[in-house]
């Protein structure tokens, strides 16, 4: 019998493995071109980011904290499972519920849609960082929560909204918070809580 190796078709000039390697290199080059990987590489002390875990430092609620992340790790995953900051909730991966809202350089974002690598060198503020703020106090005073699951996202969104619109009307408040969903339907009390802060209530 002839050697079986002679019965196999000749190798193609371009294999699936070659394709995957090339695709990975192209993706890495694109990320570096956008500046994200470059910033993380500098923070991690390495010129290569991924595909395995890398160490990064994040500024969360005014404190520098270290995390180990893969390129696909979201900011929400780091906050909840490495920093034990569980206020932001994994309600929807696409951020449509508003449950994972945090402040990134003062702007509200859904932590479930932001990669941890994107937060390197920026200021992250979670609902835990709003201790003593009049917004959560107003929610309590106006019974603005029922099950409470959506409340942290609302509180952060309200804080960001009032930072830009401290004298907002009820109509403006309703429009400004339409990215947050409460399944319990406590919207009337939430709106009243925000109006309370606008009017200077709850030590606002």
Domain boundary assignment for the chain: 29-128, 132-198
Paired residues of 66 in beta bridges: 57
41-52 pLDDT per residue, tens: 445 444 456 688
Does the global pTM surpass 0.95? no
146: number of CA atoms within 13 Å, CB side?
A: 9
Residue 8 neighbours by CB under 8 Å, 6+ apart? none
Architecture of domain 132-198: Orthogonal Bundle (1.10)
Selected from 3.40.50.1100, 3.10.20.30, 3.40.50.1110, 3.40.50.2000, the CATH number assigned to the domain covering 29-128 reads 3.10.20.30
Nearest residue to 112 (alpha-carbon basis) of 130, 97, 128: 97
Calculate the average pLDDT of the chain.
83
CA angle centred on 143, ends 137 and 144, rounded to 5°? 80
Say if residue 154 is preceded by a cis peptide, omega within 30 of 0: no
Round to whole Å and give the CA distance between 186 and 181: 10
100-141 pLDDT per residue, tens:
999 999 999 999 999 999 999 999 999 999 999 999 999 999
pLDDT in tens, 135-185: 999 999 999 999 999 999 999 999 999 999 999 999 999 999 999 999 999
């Amino acid at each position: 019998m002839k050697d079986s190796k002679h019965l196999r078709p000749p190798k193609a000039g371009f294999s699936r493995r070659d394709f995957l390697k090339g695709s990975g290199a192209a993706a890495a080059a694109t990320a570096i071109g956008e500046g994200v990987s470059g910033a993380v590489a500098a923070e991690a002390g390495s010129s290569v980011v991924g595909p395995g875990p890398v160490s990064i430092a994040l500024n969360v609620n005014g404190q520098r904290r270290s995390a180990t992340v893969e390129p696909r790790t979201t900011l929400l995953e780091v906050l909840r499972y490495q920093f034990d900051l569980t206020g932001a909730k994994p309600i929807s991966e696409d951020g449509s519920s508003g449950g994972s809202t945090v402040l990134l350089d003062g702007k509200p974002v859904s932590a479930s849609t932001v990669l941890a690598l994107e937060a390197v060198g920026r200021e992250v503020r979670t609902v835990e960082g709003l201790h003593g703020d009049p917004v959560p106090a107003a929610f309590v005073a106006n019974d603005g929560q029922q099950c409470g699951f959506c409340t942290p996202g609302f509180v952060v969104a309200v804080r960001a909204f009032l930072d830009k619109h401290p004298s907002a009307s009820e109509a403006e408040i309703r429009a400004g918070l339409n990215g947050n969903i409460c399944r319990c339907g406590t919207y009337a009390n939430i709106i009243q809580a925000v109006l309370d802060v606008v009017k200077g209530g709850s030590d606002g």
